[in-house]
């Protein structure tokens, strides 16, 4: 583990990795509580797997952008440390599975040599900032949103305001009103707009999927570009302070809006602007330059072995970029898995035919850029040899899925094999549907919607049913979700639950009915609305009949053994630790971070670390009384009630007034000085107080 310490050029990254190594050692020695260690490793992209003793490592790729060199580096890492497979996710990340925990610092260090990070890919942080994969080449876009997504990623990575929130926070940038980055299901979604020559964004807030989907609210019709970063900062600050922290099922921004109302959240946002590190933030529009197109000249003109497939591929997977004479090429990747030998052959085969930039798509595919028309036959043959030239990208035949029970702790039933089975049904029985991009099929292994079933036109999520005291794998069928456009979207309706082995019959029933009863050129949404939810319940009800079960239906897709539910502890976000000594130790650590930031002249960061020192110290003392408040504002209130008002702690003012100076003062050196001093004095008093109580 010594090698990375000299090979890394970035001291901040090196410190991060050394810290992870030390924390792993402390965890192995029993010095860090298991739950606390979980939240720590999650924030560093290390996620527990269904299989004991191994980890999933999530690689954070801002807006899905990756170069040839980076893909090859990740492939090498997957071979050396994992299972030799790259899994593309719906949030434009890459995941590696079956990694030893003790080897994760070394893995991370090797990734960082090619500017690839794990930091904040999981946990209660700002997750990977996504964007439309076609941003920069989209013929419909008002301007390229890539630099804005990049700036957002950079600004909030390691930012003190979003390191230990109650839950994860997701941000997307769509390239146009087509909203291909799904702004309506994000905590914050941005759609580009022009007001004359001025750039700005339509802003949507508090969307989300999961077990309780919520469609985001439009909060700004036009937010000027230099106000984007400050606006995000204020909302995160409010979420951090007021969001739920104990019940993770109620800890997303959408639940805070439901609890106190959108108007109140926006009022708190307005107050918080005073404390922002920046009031405006100029975006460097050149931060994400367009990749260099392949040189013009003669390209191979190979024979096409399957002309019909080639024509279908051209019609469904290729589009003309806004840059004249160049084409974007989508690559359909079955279940989002690319094994490392194929990844290397892919890079070797496309080099010189497309630009050196790949974008991972939200439906687990790839987008290649700047292909010249004369290069398309050779590109098709290269992809076809790797079984990556199936037509129908983003069509009914392109099913999105999460890993499900293959690796995820929360998976209830198999989703990966089911995805392949449903695609086979389309290709073999409904070939004309490969041209249909109006209908999307999405599958998740549980209700949490990692496979985005909540926004599917036809969705499935894993579940179970009981029949004669036996349990069988099942799927919840959802219909009618999807993108409408310009920030509008629909959450799918739960219609009926059926045995998992009957999902193919569900698909046939819905598509057959659509073909017969949909009006010519009618969208699936219009067709679904005209029939109504009950119509589809009645249509599918015979498939829910459990009196006709066969033994095969007690075995899940892709399995041979009889089904049994085995759900572990989910790790989509860290769990709050309520150990007094641990909290006081954390307070000391945060105070140390505050002092480091202060010494570097980073006043806003020093102030926020000081704020967290105050709240964490107060929470520790409250826990000594058995009081576990679920929000930071609750901690502040309860500390005044139980310590200040009772005289157990003497402060010159209320704890509320002391702490909330943070949103009443500009982040100046003067305020950072006094606030840091107050935090240190308060922490020392709390430590002395606890020692006195426990003598």
Question: pLDDT tens, 79-112?
Answer: 999 999 999 999 999 999 999 999 999 999 999 9
CATH class as words, domain 400-554? alpha beta
Do 3-112 and 580-693 come out as alike in CATH topology?
no
What phi and psi, each to the nearest 5 degrees, are found at residue 646?
A: -90, -5
Strand order in the sheet with 441-444: 400-401, 441-444, 458-467, 470-479, 493-499
- Give the SS3 label for residue 81: helix
Other Cβ atoms less than 10 A from the Cβ of 305: the count is 11
Whole-number pLDDT of residue 7: 61
Q: Where are the alpha helices (DSSP H) in 453-543?
A: 503-517, 524-531, 533-540
Domain ranges of the chain: 3-112, 130-275, 307-385, 400-554, 580-693
pLDDT for the residue numbered 668: 96
Give the DSSP per-residue string, 538-582: HHHGGGG-GGG--GGGGS-TT--SPP--------SSPPPP--HHH
Measured CA distances, 107 to 21, 38, 293 (Å): 11, 18, 32
**Number of neighbouring beta carbons within 10 Å of residue 449:** 26
Give residue-wise pLDDT tens across range 175-205.
999 999 999 999 999 999 999 999 999 999 9
Strands 65-66 and 188-195 turn out to be unpaired
Measured CA to CA, the distance from residue 507 to residue 490 in angstroms comes to 20
pLDDT at position 573 is 42
- pLDDT at res. 386: 97
Tokens for 72? 């090859």
CATH number for the 3-112 domain, one of 3.30.70, 2.30.130, 3.30.450, 3.90.1570? Answer: 3.30.70
Given CATH 3.60.110.10, say whether it is the number of domain 580-693: no
Count of C-beta atoms within a 10 Å radius of residue 238: 22
Q: Round to whole Å and give the CA distance between 214 and 585.
A: 37
pLDDT of residue 552: 93
Long-range contacts of 401-404 (CB under 8 A, 24+ apart): 401/335, 401/336, 401/364, 401/442, 401/443, 401/444, 401/451, 402/90, 402/443, 402/444, 402/445, 402/450, 402/451, 403/87, 403/95, 403/445, 404/443, 404/444, 404/445, 404/446, 404/451, 404/462
Give the pLDDT score at 579. 62
Structural domain 307-385, CATH architecture: 2-Layer Sandwich (3.30)
Please provide the CATH number assigned to the domain covering 130-275.
3.30.413.10
Q: Which of 457, 390, 450, 366 is nearest to 416 (CA)?
A: 450
Give the residue ranges of the chain where pLDDT is below 70: 1-8, 564-579, 692-695
State residue 8's pLDDT score. 65
């Amino acid at each position: 583990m010594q090698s990375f310490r000299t090979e890394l050029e970035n001291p901040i990254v090196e410190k991060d990795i050394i810290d992870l190594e030390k924390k792993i050692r402390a965890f192995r020695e029993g010095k860090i509580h298991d739950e606390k260690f979980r939240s720590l490793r999650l924030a560093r992209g290390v996620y527990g797997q269904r299989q004991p003793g191994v980890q999933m490592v999530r690689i954070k790729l801002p807006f899905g952008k990756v170069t040839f060199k980076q893909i090859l580096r990740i492939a090498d890492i997957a071979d050396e440390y994992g299972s030799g497979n790259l899994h593309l996710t719906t949030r434009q990340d890459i995941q590696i599975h079956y990694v030893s925990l003790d080897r994760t610092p070394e893995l991370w260090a090797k990734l960082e040599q090619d500017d690839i990070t794990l930091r904040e890919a999981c946990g209660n942080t700002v997750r990977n900032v996504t964007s439309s994969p076609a941003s920069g080449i989209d013929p419909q876009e008002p301007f390229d949103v890539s630099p804005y997504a990049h700036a957002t990623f950079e600004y909030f990575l390691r930012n003190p305001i979003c390191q230990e929130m109650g839950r994860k926070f997701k941000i997307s940038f769509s390239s146009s009103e087509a909203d291909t980055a799904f702004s309506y299901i994000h905590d914050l979604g941005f759609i580009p707009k022009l007001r004359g020559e001025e750039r700005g964004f339509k802003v949507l807030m508090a969307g989300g999927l999961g077990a309780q989907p919520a469609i985001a609210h439009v909060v700004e019709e036009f937010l000027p570009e230099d106000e984007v970063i400050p606006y995000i900062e204020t909302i995160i600050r409010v979420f951090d302070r007021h969001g739920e922290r104990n019940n993770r099922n109620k800890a997303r921004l959408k639940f805070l809006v439901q609890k106190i109302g959108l108007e109140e959240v926006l009022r708190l946002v307005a107050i918080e602007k005073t404390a922002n590190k920046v009031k405006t933030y100029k975006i460097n529009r050149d931060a994400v330059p367009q990749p260099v197109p392949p040189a013009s000249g003669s390209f191979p003109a190979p024979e096409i072995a399957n002309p019909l497939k080639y024509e279908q591929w051209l019609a469904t997977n290729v589009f003309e970029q806004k840059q004249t004479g160049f084409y974007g090429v989508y690559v359909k990747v079955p279940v989002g898995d690319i094994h490392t030998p194929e990844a290397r052959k892919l890079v070797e085969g496309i080099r010189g035919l497309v630009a050196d930039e790949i974008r991972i798509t939200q439906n687990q595919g790839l987008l290649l850029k700047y292909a010249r028309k004369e290069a398309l036959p050779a590109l098709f043959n290269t992809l076809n040899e790797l079984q990556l030239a199936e037509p129908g990208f983003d069509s009914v035949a392109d099913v999105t899925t999460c890993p499900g029970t293959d690796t995820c702790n929360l998976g209830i039933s198999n989703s990966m094999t089911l995805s392949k089975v449903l695609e086979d049904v389309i290709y073999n029985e409904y070939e004309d549907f490969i041209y249909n991009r109006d209908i999307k099929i999405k599958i998740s292994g549980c209700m949490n919607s990692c496979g985005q079933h909540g926004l599917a036109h036809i969705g499935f999520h894993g579940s179970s049913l009981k029949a004669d005291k036996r349990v069988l794998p099942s799927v919840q069928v959802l219909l009618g979700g999807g993108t409408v456009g310009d920030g509008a979207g629909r959450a799918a309706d739960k219609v009926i639950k059926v045995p998992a082995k009957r999902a193919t019959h569900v698909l046939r029933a819905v598509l057959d009915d659509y073909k017969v009863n949909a009006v010519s050129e009618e969208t699936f949404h219009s067709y679904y609305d005209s029939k109504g939810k009950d119509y589809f319940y009645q249509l599918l009800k015979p498939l829910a009949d459990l009196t006709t079960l066969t033994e095969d239906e007690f075995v899940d897709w892709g399995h041979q053994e009889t089904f049994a539910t085995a759900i572990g502890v989910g790790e989509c976000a860290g769990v709050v630790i309520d150990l007094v000594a641990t909290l006081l130790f954390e307070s000391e650590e945060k105070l140390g971070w505050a002092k480091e930031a202060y010494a570097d002249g980073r006043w806003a960061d020093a102030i926020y670390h000081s704020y967290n020192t105050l709240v964490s110290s107060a929470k520790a003392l409250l826990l000594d009384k058995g009081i576990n408040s679920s929000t930071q504002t609750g901690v502040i209130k309860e500390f005044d009630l139980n310590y200040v008002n009772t005289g157990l702690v003497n402060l010159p003012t209320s704890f509320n007034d002391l702490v909330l100076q943070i949103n009443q003062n500009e982040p100046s050196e003067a305020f950072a000085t006094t606030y840091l001093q107050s935090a240190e004095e308060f922490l020392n008093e709390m430590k002395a107080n606890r020692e006195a109580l426990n003598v």
